[in-house]
Chain A
Amino acid sequence: MWTWFHQLASPPTFYRFAESLAPWLFAAGVLLVGAGVYGGLFVAPPDYQQGDAFRIIYVHVPAAALSMSIYVAMALAAAVALIWRMKLAEVALVAAAPVGASFTALALVTGMLWGKPMWGAYWVWDVRLTLELLLLFQYLGVLGLNRAYADPRAGARASAWLALIGVVFVYINKKSVEWWNSLHQGSTLLSFEGMRNPKISGDMLWPLLVSLAGFYLFFGAVWLRRMQNEVLWRERNTRWAQERVAA
């Protein structure tokens, strides 16, 4: 197990591993997102209160879930990069930030488009919305700090500290709708009460779960591809990388 781990941490081995895995993740992700969105838009019944407007959840919920999950993954990579000085963890951190920022932006935009007709406002400064906007800036901060260094390893380490500092806000963001009054509704899927007594009916739930799985797999594929690029760039002076680019 450990030897396999150590081998995987070597750039050429990781590159080959990602090369074989990414297309499968990508295909499965696109397929599931397609099935989930189709099920959500055409198969699921309209909501008793919101009518067809609720269908935004088949994009908004996965985007928002990923915006927080990616940050946690990034912070874990940051801890590994800082403690074990593992190059691949630095690469994982740097590669995840722009993707996380994109999903955060998607969650914000879809939420605003839904908020105007349903709530009556595109934007309000409640804790959930404010922290989600902060999350976008956190991603951009990690990215910016990383780019501010000429040496990629120094840049990755600096942004790793920043990523670690910010992870507490993701937890507060997740819990904010339970702890305080907010305009944003509470969690439908991840609540103890919801486990016993589902808050969403089954024919609306399955497309959401399929779409969620698809978004996560799609993110996995994009993350691996970005990591491959970062590895190639960092190793551009080595023989294997030059052979890989020439091939």
Chain B
Amino acid sequence: MSRPGLTKRQKRMVAVAALVTGVSLAAALGVTAFRKNMMYFYTPSDLLSGTLPAGAALQLGGLVERGSLKHGEGLKIEFVMSDCKNAVPVRYDGVLPDLFREGQGVVATGHMEAGQVFVASTILAKHDENYMPPNVAKAVGNVDGKHSCAPFKSVTAPS
């Protein structure tokens, strides 16, 4: 740091640059190392890949597959959650958020029961970043397909 020829101001400049670079580097390393822990939820693909402990409590995110929603007694529902590659059946008994509907994103907290069905204790709706009036939405049609699965990134699969 005390190289001859550097003025005090230049030394301070080096110190500021070194600090910002150092902190950024540390953050980049930390963020890469903890990538999995930074994910708010897993996807059906992660769940079916078999790398997660069986029956563990976790959060699962994906789209409510169209035509899969079935209402049972009271508040009981069943639907299929999909990330456009894989799908998992979900069972839930409780209050749903306003945005819950077929074709929309959801994040469910719960666990896999007997490797068959995901039993959810909480369901949150995950809205996407698209805004439009109802008549435009009707004209555009269902913006379904790969694009709507973009917010559901797989944790285990190499991105």
Which residues on the B side are within 8 Å of A204 (C-beta)?
131-133
Report the bound CA distance from A45 to B35 in whole Å.
Answer: 39
Does B107 count as interface, using CB distance less than 8 angstroms? yes
Check if B133 sits within 8 Å of A186, measured CB to CB: no
Check if A185 sits within 8 Å of B19, measured CB to CB: no
Check if A185 sits within 8 Å of B133, measured CB to CB: no
Interface of chain B residues 32 through 74 with chain A (CB within 8 A): 35, 38-43, 61
Interface of chain A residues 74 through 127 with chain B (CB within 8 A): 79, 82-84, 117-121, 124-127
Does A183 count as interface, using CB distance less than 8 angstroms? yes
Question: Chain B: residues with CB nearer than 8 A to chain A?
Answer: 9, 12-13, 15-16, 19-20, 23-24, 27, 31, 35, 38-43, 61, 95-101, 104, 107, 122-138, 151-153, 155
Report the bound CA distance from A126 to B153 in whole Å.
Answer: 14
Check if B133 sits within 8 Å of A201, measured CB to CB: yes
Chain A 196-238 against B: per-residue CB contact (8 Å), 1 yes, 0 no? 0001110110000000000000000000000000000000000
Check if A119 sits within 8 Å of B9, measured CB to CB: no
Check if A180 sits within 8 Å of B124, measured CB to CB: no
User: Looking at the complex, which one of A45, A167, A179, A200 makes contact with B130 (CB distance below 8 Å)?
Assistant: A200
- A188 and B129 in contact, given A118-B97, A180-B153 (Cβ under 8 angstroms): yes
Report the bound CA distance from A49 to B40 in whole Å.
Answer: 23
User: Looking at the complex, which one of B20, B27, B31, B97 makes contact with A117 (CB distance below 8 Å)?
Assistant: B97
Check if A120 sits within 8 Å of B125, measured CB to CB: yes
- A48 and B41 in contact, given A119-B125, A183-B107 (Cβ under 8 angstroms): no
Q: How far is the CB of A3 from chain B (nearest CB, A)?
A: 19
Report the bound CA distance from A238 to B81 in whole Å.
Answer: 69
Most buried by B among A168, A169, A181: A181
Report the bound CA distance from A53 to B104 in whole Å.
Answer: 17
Question: Chain A: residues with CB nearer than 8 A to chain B?
Answer: 45-50, 53-54, 57, 79, 82-84, 117-121, 124-127, 161, 164-165, 167-169, 172, 176, 179-183, 185-188, 191, 194, 199-201, 203-204
Give me the 4 closest cross-chain CB pairs, A-B, nearest first: A120-B97, A45-B133, A48-B137, A126-B40
Report the bound CA distance from A54 to B130 in whole Å.
Answer: 11
User: Looking at the complex, which one of A50, A57, A84, A127 makes contact with B9 (CB distance below 8 Å)?
Assistant: A84
Check if A82 sits within 8 Å of B16, measured CB to CB: yes
Check if B16 sits within 8 Å of A120, measured CB to CB: no
Report the bound CA distance from A121 to B40 in whole Å.
Answer: 14
Check if B27 sits within 8 Å of A185, measured CB to CB: no
Q: List 17 A-B contacts (CB under 8 A).
A: A50-B99, A82-B15, A82-B16, A83-B9, A117-B98, A118-B97, A119-B97, A120-B95, A124-B124, A125-B40, A164-B19, A164-B23, A179-B31, A181-B151, A183-B40, A186-B128, A201-B133
Which residues on the B side are within 8 Å of A194 (C-beta)?
129
Check if A185 sits within 8 Å of B132, measured CB to CB: no
User: Looking at the complex, which one of A53, A82, A127 makes contact with B38 (CB distance below 8 Å)?
Assistant: A127
Check if A83 sits within 8 Å of B12, measured CB to CB: yes
